[in-house]
Structure 1
């Protein structure tokens, strides 16, 4: 293969991969939040952060598995942009310390809420994809005071094969 063809193929592959970059991978720390909003559209959720900044969120729930979250400082500059519906983010939740507000600010509105009267627990559920392979639900269990007491991941039945099919 000629050197010119090799270079052309390498460039084409680089352009193709660049087009696959996720929204949370295409940002520059320090850019104005208006540039981010221009690229992603208006956020569907916005939460105040303790340092005077804001967390802007673009969820794909109820059927999607991605929520892009951008932390904006008090002056309106982008600090970080990331996908928050993933194990490394879920595992930051602190049992016995976090409240419903902490979960809401970190992950956005849940796809579903339930109440288990025998446990006396409210459950917030988020749909996500683990390792870009397994469709999962991540559940946060809160006691009557709104304190996080348990987390759990389960397979997402939306993507499970039907078990009741005749053979």
Structure 2
């Protein structure tokens, strides 16, 4: 019974997070001034420097499955807006070249940072939803210097039908 209550609590937390989301970020238009974006979407999760401007990150991690990046040009106006937690964007990660800073600049903070006995460094875990609307994880394995060594997807079995207490 305790496990079931925990799952219900987790589900309610995810629902509240989703409902409290500032997003309708998909309809922020290029050219919108930064102050208007902030007034409409609120305080971003993070603000990071990018070439030629800055990025406002609106992440719904750790419970949500979306992260919106609002890229601003040097004049502080929206250049582009996109949701980045998807297979196409994750496949841009280049092992042995990207660092943790690169990953977090492109995807925002991870849902979790884990460790596993078969790997010496941290593992960044992102929650996302694939094109079939399946709940997924994307794992990014870093070495002890923060260099990406590998990354891959996996299924999140949050709603597994055969799960029994």
TM-score (normalised: structure 1): 0.79
| 1:80 corresponding residue in structure 2 | 80
Q: Following TM superposition, by how much is the alpha carbon of 1:144 offset from its aligned partner in structure 2, in angstroms? A: 1.3
| 1:29 corresponding residue in structure 2 | 30
| 1:15 corresponding residue in structure 2 | none
Measured against aligned partners, the alpha-carbon deviations of 1:13-39 in whole angstroms (never above 9, x if no partner) come to: xxxxxxxxx724212212211222222
Structure 1 gaps, min length 5: 1-21
Aligned structure 1 segments of 4 or more residues deviating by more than 3 angstroms: none
Aligned length: 143
| 1:112 corresponding residue in structure 2 | 112
Take 1:41 and 1:151, find their aligned partners in 2: how far apart are those partners? 32
Cα-Cα RMSD: 1.7
Match runs of 1:22-101 below 5 Å = 23-51=24-52, 53-101=53-101
Query: For the Cα contact (< 8 Å) 2:31–2:77, is it kept in 1?
Result: yes
Query: For the Cα contact (< 8 Å) 2:99–2:147, is it kept in 1?
Result: yes
Take 1:75 and 1:123, find their aligned partners in 2: how far apart are those partners? 36
Query: For the Cα contact (< 8 Å) 2:25–2:41, is it kept in 1?
Result: no
TM-score (normalised: structure 2): 0.79
Task: Report which of the two structures shows the higher radius of gyration computed on alpha carbons.
Answer: 1
